[in-house]
Chain A
Amino acid sequence: MKHDKYKDNNLRQYLSFFRMRFIAGLQYRAAALSGISTQFAWGVLGLLLYKAFYETDPNAFPMTFQALASYLWLQQAFLSLFMAWILENEIFQTITSGGIAYELCRPIDLYGMWFVRSMANRLSKAVLRCMPILIFAAFLPSPYGIGLPPDPIAGLGFLLTLVLGFLVVVAFCMLVYISTFFTYSPTGIRMVAISVVEFLSGGVIPLPFLPDKLRWLVELLPFASMQNVPLRVYSGDISGMDILAKAGLQLFWVVALIWLGQSITRVALKRVVVQGG
């Protein structure tokens, strides 16, 4: 088949697309600077808040204070990898205003193209922002700063689950983008999706703080496979074989969400109506 000849070369298309989005993302320096300062402030406020709780009753705390501090700082440093609200307005506009006509004129799979694009967008933001925050947090006195992971396995496990969690986030956001094909206005789904993810992924409070009965269920959902896993692996809250079990669940969600996204895209493209002109 003619198509197969090109398959091994697909990577170059995607890499090139990734590079383009990455370069474009690096252009926004002022946004990065203001992002960093917001995230410093947010991290400090979070710490002060939890400190007050901790001083009242340390036994009611499901994590050590040091583990919680690491959780908060890593969350701020890698915010752009994990926050569901970092969605690209350009993709929504492409669908609602009809710019998608051009995207569909390219010999490339639309889902793959947007997936790579979202990854590049988030990574370019993270690259600009994570180091200042991590360095700052590393110099804070214990237990307020970020500590090293308890052992090398936790460090490696962190990297593995970080990548998987990132893919879960991107695959989930793809569903939000694709839903625009069916609703014409992305606002509603966007708001609901963002608030649900924010809470159920441990973005508002870490998941160990939830009541046990609820937590059991929440931990199985794809949202818990996002920032929850890598951040808790780093601080030692998840360790040993649990890391592998969680990583397995993450992998399952990556595959499931991508499969779902691609299937919906196929249906959407059959009935796509390019708006205007």
Chain B
Amino acid sequence: MIEVKHISKTFRVSRRSAGFSEAFKALFHRQYECIKALDDISFTIEDGEMVGYIGPNGAGKSSTIKVLSGILTPDQGQCNIDGRVPWKNRIEHVRDIGVVFGQRSQLWWDVPVIDSFELLRDIYRIAARTYKDNLEELVTLLNLEDIIRTPARQLSLGQRMRCEIAASLLHSPKILFLDEPTIGLDAVSKLAVREFILQRNKTHKTTVILTTHDMQDIESLTKRIILIGKGKILMDGSLEEIRKQVETSGQNADELSIDEIVASLYHKYQIS
């Protein structure tokens, strides 16, 4: 179970106006602004749940994922995941979680993917038997037979993303964080990734937390949606509840695509 209570995190950003004189002034006197990336965030996620975490760029989605995976230490608040505080018990905590950052790669660039997998096997100390079973399952479901013997640099984005997802599941984590896993993928790869995530959640009861800008991801994967904007949680509910919210503001939700619904939500909360 994931319990997050009143988490806040502030970043300091240096700002100045354009131009030579401004740049010169900033040499001696730098002005900082504090940006509240996370502002009193609280939610609870049960085991086996699949949750979509949405919000415009810069809303705090990735920061939340980073706090939950133990990378970022918040300024305030508590977080308890299966009895552990992620940033305090980082090494124990990360054994049980899998993370995919859609915009980064965890595969070694110049060597075949399978070498990266074997390194992960040793780093997570996966038993030989478990590794073999997991690898077989992932290779079959994600269709990776030929791909894993290719160096990562020669894979297409879709192929690489499938490998990234496989890499994050080799150690059978109980919780899977997916940070924009379908970013930049073509239609076929997107569908394959979605189908796989659904299956994984069903068969292994893996808790999945997914951030995305692709509302079709949300529509096909999650029942529960958490909407975040300017560091605050604005809504926590099902897609139906979101439709209702939109209708109260005078629009007919049935006629709108899911993208339009979310866009009107962003407008309503003035976070876009």
Contact = CB atoms under 8 A, between A and B. Distances in A.
A98 B121 CA distance: 23
B65 to A, nearest CB: 9
A108 B123 contact: yes
Interface in B51-81: 62, 66, 69-73
B97 interface: yes
A106 B123 contact: yes
B122 interface: yes
Interface in A242-277: 270-274, 276-277
A217 interface: no
Interface stretch (B99-107, B139-147, B259-267): B99-107
Interface in B82-99: 90-92, 94-95, 97, 99
Q: Which of A12, A23, A100, A277 has its CB near the most chain B CB atoms (within 10 A)?
A: A277
Contacts of A106: 94, 123-124
A17 interface: yes
Contacts of A17: 119, 122-123
B111 interface: yes
A246 B116 CA distance: 40
Nearest to B179: A277
Contacts of A277: 62, 101, 103-104, 179-180
A20 interface: yes
A210 interface: no
Interface residues of A, number: 31
B196 interface: no
A69 to B, nearest CB: 37
Contacts of B11: 273
Given A272-B71, A274-B71, A13 B101 contact: no
Q: Which of B70, B90, B124: most chain A Cβ within 10 A?
A: B90
A27 interface: yes
9 A-B pairs closest in CB distance: A16-B122, A102-B106, A104-B71, A107-B95, A277-B103, A20-B119, A105-B99, A107-B91, A107-B94
Interface of B: 11, 62, 66, 69-73, 90-92, 94-95, 97, 99, 101, 103-106, 108, 110-111, 115-116, 118-119, 121-125, 179-180
Given A13-B122, A23-B115, 5 more contacts: A12-B122, A24-B110, A102-B105, A107-B124, A273-B72
